Chains A and B, each alone.
Chain A
Amino acid sequence: MDERLEQALAVSKALETHQNQKNILHKQYKDNLIYYFDGQKISVDLSLIAYCTTKTMPIVIIDDNKTPVLIDDIEEFTKKITAMYETASRKYFMEFKKIKSKRSVKELIDL
């Protein structure tokens, strides 16, 4: 095989592996942003955190399963989802950083 083509194919393989690892990390990040409590499933994002931050009285939110949930202690709830968001984002950042600079398949998988 032409050496230039061979090199290009090796790079393409590394990029494909790189992309798949990035996709796995992103999916795991999205899963880590789901807050489960008392059988409820709530996807946390910045708009939910911002909304909760402005509230002082109990609120009702609709969870991912279309179930209404009464949040009695809004302060505690906001604290928990904010911490969860920060932990998940930080973990995603750290994991992403690990693979970002790696160029070979071997380095990517850390064999």
Chain B
Amino acid sequence: MTQGVLLFAYNSKNMDYTKQAIYCAKLIKQHLGKEVALVTDDESYLNRQYPFYKKYIDHVIITGHEDAVQERVYNDGLYHSDKQRWYNTNRSSCFELSPFDETIVIDTDVLIFNDELNRCFGSAEDFLISKDYNFVDMKRDYSEFDKVSETTCDMFWATAFYFKKTEFTSIFFDLIEHIKENWHFYRLVYEIAPVKFRNDYAFSIAIHMLRGMKDATWPLRVPTAIWVTVDKDILHAIDDTKLTLLLHKDYDYQLSAISDATVHVMNKFSLERCIDKVFEDE
């Protein structure tokens, strides 16, 4: 059984997801020791900008992104924000795209500083997904993210999930594709206010449908704690396995640090600044 990690990276105007993916792959090699496959649309950029990428990425899968224009505001701490396009609607294609029998799919802004995700491999389950996040700012309340909307189903995060290529997971990803194609119908049924398609919502709806619209223990969670810092926080430094962060308060920041953890860094601007420092040595 081949095992590996699949990353998606489609650059937008001011956001270099390819850079994030290479750094993410570097951490995967260091802490999980697994092969990495990158799905992207621009091989020449990869070769030109990051000629060292082959040290960390074993498979490059070239495929275009869908034309659907998605825009969202990205914050860089409390005092700067930028509206950016993003292309991340083809995550449900991971079943066809992955070169591995067992695959972990993670966002490129998830930083891995321990080997806990390796527990996924060899699991008796066909599919595992992340659900409960820990905020690095532990005073922040998670409950508002617990449901897709107040009256509907549990929220799961497509930020990190694991699957085996089986008939069951094929049905699951086909269902996500169907939800994507009929997004405006499903978002009304599930009382989702934002018009934009989001993988997290589509995965959550598919899970809800597959478990018979009821609560169930399926799917089990990815066997690691995932920490999150929101985009109004600032990643200040990466030092070996320690992240130093500025956590936002109303009009101020609070310093914090976390070590040996898996951390989803949502402030992509500050993440890229830190990666630039790391890549100076490449």
Q: Which of B124, B257, B261 is A21 in contact with, Cβ under 8 Å?
A: B257
Q: Which single member of A38, A39, A109 contacts B257 (CB below 8 Å)?
A: A109
Interface residues on A, range: 20 to 34
Q: Would you call A87 an interface residue if the criterion is a C-beta within 8 Å of the partner chain's C-beta atoms? A: no
How many interface contacts (CB-CB < 8 Å) are there between A and B? 52
Contact of A109 among B134, B225, B255, B261 (CB under 8 A): B255
Shortest C-beta distance, A95 to chain B (Å), equals: 8
Residue B254 contacts which of A13, A36, A111 (CB distance < 8 angstroms)? Answer: A13
CB of A6 within 8 Å of the partner chain: no
Q: Which of B119, B139, B223, B255 has the most CB of A within 10 A?
A: B255
Q: Quick check: is B151 within 8 A (CB to CB) of the other chain?
A: no
B contact residues around A66 at 8 Å (CB): 217
Taking beta carbons and an 8 Å cutoff, which residues of A are in contact with B? 13, 16-17, 20-21, 23-24, 27-28, 31, 34, 36, 38-39, 41, 65-67, 105-106, 108-111
8 contacts between A and B (CB under 8 A): A20-B256, A28-B261, A31-B225, A34-B223, A65-B220, A67-B217, A108-B255, A109-B257
User: Other than the known A27-B134, A111-B255, what 13 A-B pairs have Cβ atoms closer than 8 Å?
Assistant: A17-B255, A20-B137, A20-B139, A21-B257, A24-B136, A24-B138, A36-B223, A38-B124, A106-B255, A109-B244, A109-B257, A110-B257, A111-B244
Q: Which 5 A-B pairs have the closest CB atoms?
A: A39-B124, A23-B138, A31-B225, A39-B123, A109-B257
